A and B are shown apart, each in its own frame.
Chain A
Amino acid sequence: MKLLFSLLLCLCLPSAWADAAPKLDIGKGGQCVEDAQWMRKNHMHVLKHQRDEAVRKGVREEKHSLKNCIECHASTKDDSVIARADSFCVACHKYEAVKLDCFECHSGKRKSAWLQRNAK
């Protein structure tokens, strides 16, 4: 009986852990493009399409831009989507083990916060 119980425990615990979704700081949050599940699955395609249009054709559509994502989803504490382990972009990408290289070039901060700091 003891053996069976420990076996069950071993089987159940990992699955319980695996279901624990990452805890993120979603910033202001809210839905501006699509619902959350759609965005989880497709945000990379939206961003990739938008970046080519913006850089090469000059179509600067505010709604689908990375800057606009950051505007709402940057933490209200540090104005960033990448600063901490539970920041909006970092937490999920860490959980999914997907490398996040947008922010090697792009700023992860709100424009307003950047302006404030660089006005000094």
Chain B
Amino acid sequence: MSDIDLQRRNFLKTSVGAAAVAIAPGVLLFDMAHGNPQALSGKVRWGMLIDTAQCKPGCNDCVTACNTENGLSGETKSTDSQWIRKIEIKDISSGRELSLPMMCQHCENPPCVDVCPTTASFKRADGIVLVDKHRCIGCRYCMMACPYKARSFVHEPLSDQNPDVPRGKGTVESCTLCVHRIDQGGQPACAEACANKAILFGDLNNPESEIAQKVRTVATTQVRADLRLNPGVRYQGL
């Protein structure tokens, strides 16, 4: 190797080292200033696994718990908000009947986010799909885009909301996966309320978590998997 090549290599080495020394504290300081320890990380993906064998027909405990937690009226008129509903389905050829809860599926590629003109509909880093009501103009495109009919529009003025769950007229809303509870280390109200433990909540990305282990070992289905939205809510025995 010629002398000039070696000199060039040494020069490059030292200059890269010097650049790293010069930039590193800046990067660190930037991280300290902006990387709030409480900020969400993309490492987590919250999800649910619903065991339809454990979900009892006629039982409405998850729906009631959701209504109480989020201050919904519990009415089921077309103008009332429903964040979670129980569905009874029947396979006509075999006569097999199933009961299951249906709510926002917290898709990885949510169509409601695609269509929102004000970016009010958004997906948090941890996979929870939410409506930022500060930006929502109530156009209801997202309600039309959602294949699960998961979203509702608030038609009437509201009062006496849960201080943790702001809701108001003129905005679209849906299951938040009880984001206010999750951020405090809790789990959604519906999962907590289910007496048969049919709703398993957890981090799909953590291989150690109960939900990830179960998803790995038993057959689970995503509703309308053909749309390739990759919902965070999965069903077992569907």
Contacts and interface: CB of A to CB of B under 8 A. Distances in A.
Contacts of A106: 161, 163, 166
Given A105-B133, A105-B171, A106-B166, A57 B125 contact: yes
A51 B132 CA distance: 10
Nearest to A55: B132
Contact of A59 (B38, B162, B163, B167): B38
Nearest to A52: B134
Contacts, number: 61
A57 B39 CA distance: 6
Contacts of B167: 105
Contacts of B95: none
A84 interface: no
A51 to B, nearest CB: 6
Interface residues of B, number: 27
B114 interface: no
A104 interface: yes
B161 A58 contact: no
Q: Does more than half of chain B's interface fall in helix, strand or loop, or is it mixed? A: loop
Given A57-B125, A58-B124, A107 B162 contact: yes
A contacts with B: majority SS = helix
B208 interface: no
B168 interface: yes
B183 interface: yes
Given A60-B183, A105-B133, A111 B164 contact: yes
Contacts of B36: 53, 57, 59, 61
A107 B163 contact: yes
Contacts of A104: 157, 168-169
A63 to B, nearest CB: 12
Contact of A58 (B39, B160, B168): B39
Q: Which of B124, B134, B167 has the most CB atoms of chain A within a 10 A radius of its CB?
A: B134
B141 interface: no
B40 interface: yes
B38 A61 contact: yes
B129 to A, nearest CB: 12
B130 interface: yes
Interface string A90-108: 0000000000000011110
Interface of B: 36, 38-40, 68, 122, 124-126, 130, 132-134, 157-158, 160-164, 166-169, 171, 179, 183
Given A55-B134, A107-B161, 13 more contacts: A52-B134, A56-B132, A57-B124, A57-B125, A58-B125, A59-B39, A59-B40, A104-B168, A105-B167, A105-B168, A107-B160, A107-B162, A114-B162
